[in-house]
Amino acid sequence: MSASPQTVQKSGAAGSAIFAGSDSRKYNYYEPKARKATHYEDMTVDVQPDPERYLLQDWIISFPDGTPTYSKTWTKALSSNWHQFRAVDQEWERTHYQRQSTICGMVQGVIENARKSGAPKRFDAAWVKVLQDHLGAYKHAEFGLGTSLMQAQRYGYTQMINNATLTNSSYKLRFSQDLTLYLSEIGMDLGNFDHTAGKTHWLEDPIWQGTRRAIEAIMGATDYLEQYLATNLVFEPLVGELFRSGFIMQMAASQGDFATPSVVAAAEADYERNLANTVELAHMLTHDKEHGAHNTKLFNGWIAHHGALAKEAAANLQPIWSQPRVKVSSFDDAQERAHNRIQTICSQVGLKAP
């Protein structure tokens, strides 16, 4: 046996030899959004391929009707360049786990300290029932949005859109579990706390049926962008924030409850990031040179449809504002803030608020 001897390089380290391409140390196959590529872009862009970019052999498996693995037809929206979108929150796995883990630690710390100090027992009795029945019901709305977005993350035409949808789903599902476990744990200190009451109210209480209808309309939408936009541009400002900030976070302190606002606050911070991503995508599509008018009309239709459901849902929630013993904010004030919020959001992306 013999073979030609090989000249073996002594070091495999960068810079140990100079030759063509030896200094090419950046991903060079896409255009960064800014002058320099971000780490998020390097982790994300073009991982989901596209026959219009580098996919030489096209998609190689199709659904039985001929639809390929990914298709632009999965939304009625049109884009002259789907690859232009970048998530404002720039999340990739490490930043996502860091943030989620930090929130989990913060929430657990709040719960532990509140329970150690005996706080739940000092919550006003009427407030405990509000938490049991209504925060308990609301956790299902968050879960519905989480599973809806889990579905939506299959359909987007680029990795950037799908990953932003995926992290949004992850945040919603975490928050729905945060609420579930929070209520379970303070319930242990409260004797007759019924942890099943929330689901009963969600399924049966007329107060919550508008919200459930609005959530199921998002879950049942077959256009992934409709699911994403209806969640963040419509439901969140008109119902989600209205209930979380406009009710729970404003009322709680006056009922002797310092813990619940901290748990709920995490969702508001989540939403700010998810809203920023959604606004960026919606703005890109409503300002598309070729398809902006089409998309604006389409999105206005979605907003009108889901807006009507969300407004009805919000109106049905009004009686909850009367249930705490100490009343420090009114439904009308909260609703006005919600309407101002959606006006601002829609004007930013060139859409008509419902």
Interface positions, 13-52, toward other proteins (CB under 8 A): 13-30, 39, 42-50
Q: Pattern 174-203, binding to other proteins, x per CB under 8 A?
A: x-xxx-xx--xx--x------x---x--xx
Cβ of residue 74: shortest distance to other proteins, in angstroms? 9
Q: Which is nearer to other proteins, 91 or 288 (CB)?
A: 91
Q: Which is nearer to other proteins, 12 or 206 (CB)?
A: 12
The two three-digit tokens of residue 47, written as one number: 């991982």
CB nearer other proteins, residue 142 or residue 236: 142
Span of 7-15, 262-270, 292-300, 346-354 interacting with other proteins by CB under 8 A: 7-15
Report how far residue 46's alpha carbon sits from residue 349's, in angstroms, rounded to the nearest whole number: 26
> Least distance to other proteins from the beta carbon of 143, Å?
4
Number of residues that bind other proteins (CB under 8 A): 109
The least CB distance from residue 350 to other proteins, in Å, is 28
- Contacts with other proteins, 203-232, as mask; x by CB under 8 A: x--------xx--xx-xx-x----------
> For other proteins, which residue of 38, 92, 305, 308 counts as binding (CB under 8 A)?
92
Q: Which two tokens stand for residue 344?
A: 């601002």
d(CA 41, CA 158): 12
- Residue matched to tokens 């299959």: 154
| Radius of gyration, CA atoms only, the chain | 24
Contacts of other proteins in 95-154 (CB under 8 A): 96-98, 100-101, 103-105, 107-108, 112, 115-116, 139-140, 143, 146-147, 150-154
CB of 49 to other proteins, least distance (A): 5
Shortest Cβ 19–other proteins spacing (Å)? 5
CB atoms within 10 A of CB 181: 15
Residue closer to other proteins, measured from CB, 118 or 289: 118
Return the DSSP state at 253: G
Residue 196 DSSP one-character state = T
Return d(Cα 96, Cα 101) in angstroms, integer.
8
For other proteins, the binding residue among 130, 166, 207, 264 (CB under 8 A) is 166
Residue 149 near residue 227 (C-beta atoms within 8 A)? yes
- Nearest in space to 298 (alpha carbons), one of 246, 237, 221, 201: 221
Distance CA 38, CA 316 (A): 45
Closest to other proteins by CB, 96 vs 294, is 96
Both tokens assigned to 276: 């920023």
Residues forming a β-bridge with 68: 62
Which tokens in the block code for residue 295?
């998309």
Tokens coding 68: 């390929």
